[in-house]
Amino acid sequence: MNLSIFVPIQRLDIAFSQMCLCHRFNHNVAQVSKSVSHTGDGHLYALFAILVWFLDRDNAPMILSLGLSAFLLELPIYWCVKNGLKRARPFEVPSFITPSDRYSLPSGHTAAAVIMACLISAFYPDVSWFVCLWATCIGLSRILLGVHYLTDILAGFMLGYGCFSFVWWLL
């Protein structure tokens, strides 16, 4: 397989990461990015499930089934792709956190945030704008922390959206 077609993509990824991280304000941006990224670590997902269970009894079984099913589909795909491709995390730019694993493609934080944004938007459309903005900020924060490339974020978005869409269609 000729991998030379990926060279321009890798160059774009590196250039975008350098633009985002190689400036004098990168430490200040990283502090905000850490806080944003932390909201995608999973604890808010559990809190959402608890709140739905107690505050929206009518929709809770469907919401929780969809969410759980989407995550059960996403996680093995994420793990297989990440460990199959073994794309190294950015090393050409400063990193402001220690990632939980060695590889970068796809972004698991982004995939999970997109699943949650889709789930919440499907049942509570009035807050769609907010949760979609939040999921986008999660992805961008991962770039601004120096642990993902732009294409990792795009792949995470596609993975999360694809898994949610499939489960939504199935159920």
DSSP per residue, 81-104: HHHHH-PBPP-SS---S--SSSB-
Whether 23 is catalytic: no
Cis peptide upstream of residue 99 (ω within 30 degrees of 0)? no
Yes or no: say if 48 and 134 are a contact pair by the CB < 8 Å rule. no
User: Which of 23, 27, 38, 148 is flagged as catalytic?
Assistant: 148
- Name which of 162, 156, 159, 120 is nearest 136 in CA terms: 156
User: Which of 23, 27, 38, 109 is flagged as catalytic?
Assistant: 109
Whether 109 is catalytic: yes
Catalytic residue numbers?
Answer: 109, 148
